[in-house]
C-alpha cells in the first residue's frame, strides 16, 4: 500500500495547481490565534439577522419543513425576491431562482456558460472567488484596470482599454458593483457603455450585485433595468450581506429563462436546493427594509473616510462596506501588514484582490469601537 507522504502522492487533478488559498481566509485563521484583535478584515455585516427572520426559520423547522424543496426554491420566496426587484428597479426580470448564495450562482453561471479556454474579462481589483471559480472551469482571464488615475476619480474602467479587450472576443464580462474590495460603484454611463460593447460582441454580462443595499449617496445603478435592452445578462444577488445571514447560504439568480433553466439543471446535480427552513425565514426577511442598518453603515463609512482621508490616498467608498486605501509612501505591503499585525490590527492585503500590491482592504463592517481603534492605529502608522 502506498502511503500519502506529500501532496504529490495525492495525484490531484491538474486544476488544483491553480487554486489558491484566499488571503481573507488566512486572516480568519490569524484571528483565532490572536488576543483581542482589532479586526477590520471581515466581509460580513456586524449585525445579526432580524428577529422575524430567525423566528420564520425556527417555525419552519418546528412545522417539519425539513425536506428538500424544489430545485429552484419555494415559489413564495422567488415571488418576493422579484417583487423587491421590481419595487427597486421598475423592471421585473423574466426569471429567477434561489441559489446557494451568490457563490453558488457564480459557479452555476460559469459551468453553464464557459468552456475551457473561453475568455472572461475581470475587473482589477476583483473579489477573490472570481479568479478561482474561473480556474475551476478552465476559463482564461483578461483583466481591465479600475484603479483611479487621479485621486477623486473613483473606481471606473477605462473604456478604451475595454474596447481593445473586447476585440479578443470574450465570452463573458464580470462586473461587481458596489464592489468588494474597492467600495466603488460603476456609474450608469459606464454600465450603458459596457452593455453596448457587450451587445456588439454577443458577450454575456454577469453582474454580482450582492451589495445592492449598501449604496450610501445614491441608488446604485444596477444591470437589472438594462436586462430589458440586452438579454445576455445574469444578475446575482443574495441575503448574506444585507440581512446579516452569510451562514444561511441563500442567494438568487436573474436572467433569461432559457439560461436559468440550464443553471437549475446543474443545481439539481450540485447544490440540490437551498436550505429549506431558511428559505421560509428569508420570506420574512424580505418584509424588512433594513434602512436602520444602512444608516448605521453610512455613518461608519463617513467615520472611516474622515479619519483617513488626510493620511492616505483613499477614494471615498460609495458602496459595499469596504475602503481600499493605498499604502503610505515608503511602505511595502509586507512591512505595512506586519506593522498592523504588531498593533493587533487585521486588514487584508490588496494583492489578495489584485495584480498590484499597492492598496489594502479595510472592512468597516465592525463595531464603532473597533473602527475607532483601527483608524487610530492607521493614522499613527501614516504619520
CB of 319 to ligand PMP, least distance (A): 11
Q: Based on CB atoms, which residue is closest to ligand PMP, 176 or 370?
A: 176
Q: Based on CB atoms, which residue is closest to ligand PMP, 239 or 305?
A: 239
**H or E element in which residue 38 lies:** strand 38-39
User: Which stretches within 114-213 are classed as H helix?
Assistant: 128-137, 159-166, 188-201
Q: Grid coordinates in use for 27?
A: 486572516
In which residue are the cell numbers 483601527 written? Answer: 374
Q: Which residues contact 192 (CB under 8 A, 6 or more apart)?
A: 226
User: Distance between the two ends of the chain, CA-based, in angstroms?
Assistant: 61
| CB-closest chain residue to ligand PMP | 101
Q: Based on CB atoms, which residue is closest to ligand PMP, 130 or 280?
A: 130
**H or E element in which residue 295 lies:** helix 291-308
**H or E element in which residue 119 lies:** strand 119-124
CB of 110 to ligand PMP, least distance (A): 13
Nearest to 140 by CA among 177, 163, 175, 115: 115
CB of 332 to ligand PMP, least distance (A): 26
Q: Based on CB atoms, which residue is closest to ligand PMP, 43 or 184?
A: 43
Q: Give the binding site for ligand PMP (CB under 6 A).
A: 43, 101-103, 127, 176, 180, 208, 210, 238, 240, 246, 251
Q: Based on CB atoms, which residue is closest to ligand PMP, 294 or 381?
A: 294
CB of 65 to ligand PMP, least distance (A): 22
Q: Based on CB atoms, which residue is closest to ligand PMP, 182 or 203?
A: 182
Q: Based on CB atoms, which residue is closest to ligand PMP, 46 or 377?
A: 46
CA 40 to each of CA 1, 202, 211, 227, 381: distance values in angstroms, whole numbers, following the listed order: 48, 40, 18, 36, 16
CB of 112 to ligand PMP, least distance (A): 17
CB of 64 to ligand PMP, least distance (A): 27
Q: Based on CB atoms, which residue is closest to ligand PMP, 103 or 370?
A: 103
CB of 127 to ligand PMP, least distance (A): 4
CB of 102 to ligand PMP, least distance (A): 4
- How far is C-alpha 127 from the geometric centre of its chain's CA atoms? 6
**What is the 8-class DSSP label of residue 226?**
G
CA 253 to each of CA 14, 202, 335, 356: distance values in angstroms, whole numbers, following the listed order: 30, 20, 41, 31
Q: Assess contact for 316 and 148: CB atoms under 8 A.
A: no
- The C-alpha angle 324, 325, 328, rounded to 5 degrees, equals 155
Q: What DSSP assignment string belongs to 327-363?
A: PPTT--HHHHHHHHHHTTEE-EEGGGSSS--SBEEEE
Amino acid at each position: 500500500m502506498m502511503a500519502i507522504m506529500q501532496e504529490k502522492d495525492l495525484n490531484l487533478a491538474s486544476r488544483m495547481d491553480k487554486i489558491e488559498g484566499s488571503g481573507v481566509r488566512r486572516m480568519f485563521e490569524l484571528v483565532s490565534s490572536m488576543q483581542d484583535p482589532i479586526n477590520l478584515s471581515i466581509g460580513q455585516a456586524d449585525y445579526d439577522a432580524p428577529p422575524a427572520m430567525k423566528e420564520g426559520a425556527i417555525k419552519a423547522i418546528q412545522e417539519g419543513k425539513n425536506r428538500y424543496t424544489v430545485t429552484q426554491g419555494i415559489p413564495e420566496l422567488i415571488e418576493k425576491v422579484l417583487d423587491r426587484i421590481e419595487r427597486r428597479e421598475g423592471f421585473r426580470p423574466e426569471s429567477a431562482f434561489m441559489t446557494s448564495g451568490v457563490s453558488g450562482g457564480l459557479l452555476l453561471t460559469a459551468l453553464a456558460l464557459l468552456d475551457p479556454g473561453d475568455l472572461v474579462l475581470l475587473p482589477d481589483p476583483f473579489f477573490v472567488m472570481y479568479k478561482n471559480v474561473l480556474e475551476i472551469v478552465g476559463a482564461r482571464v483578461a483583466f481591465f484596470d479600475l484603479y483611479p488615475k487621479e485621486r477623486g476619480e473613483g473606481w471606473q474602467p477605462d473604456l478604451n482599454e475595454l474596447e481593445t479587450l473586447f476585440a479578443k472576443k470574450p465570452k463573458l464580462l464580470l462586473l461587481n458593483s458596489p464592489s468588494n474590495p474597492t467600495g466603488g460603484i460603476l456609474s450608469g454611463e459606464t454600465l450603458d457603455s459596457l452593455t453596448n460593447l457587450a451587445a456588439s460582441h454577443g458577450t454575456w454580462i454577469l453582474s454580482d450585485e450582492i451589495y445592492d443595499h449598501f449604496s450610501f449617496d445614491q441608488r446604485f445603478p444596477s444591470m437589472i433595468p438594462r436586462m430589458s435592452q440586452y438579454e445576455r445578462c445574469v444578475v446575482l444577488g443574495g441575503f448574506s450581506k444585507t440581512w446579516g445571514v452569510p451562514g444561511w447560504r441563500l442567494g438568487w439568480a436573474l436572467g433569461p429563462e432559457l439560461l436559468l433553466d440550464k443553471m437549475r439543471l446543474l443545481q439539481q446535480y450540485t447544490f440540490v436546493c437551498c436550505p429549506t427552513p431558511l428559505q421560509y425565514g428569508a420570506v420574512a426577511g424580505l418584509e424588512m427594509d433594513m434602512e436602520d442598518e444602512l444608516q448605521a453603515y453610512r455613518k461608519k463609512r463617513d467615520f472611516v473616510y474622515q479619519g483617513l482621508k488626510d493620511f492616505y490616498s483613499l477614494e471615498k467608498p460609495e458602496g459595499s462596506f469596504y475602503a481600499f486605501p493605498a499604502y503610505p509612501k515608503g511602505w511595502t505591503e509586507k512591512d505595512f501588514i506586519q506593522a498592523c499585525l504588531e498593533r493587533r490590527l487585521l486588514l487584508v492585503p490588496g494583492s489578495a484582490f489584485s495584480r498590484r500590491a499597492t492598496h489594502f482592504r479595510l472592512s468597516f463592517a465592525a463595531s464603532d469601537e473597533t473602527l475607532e481603534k483601527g483608524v487610530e492605529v492607521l493614522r499613527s502608522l501614516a504619520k
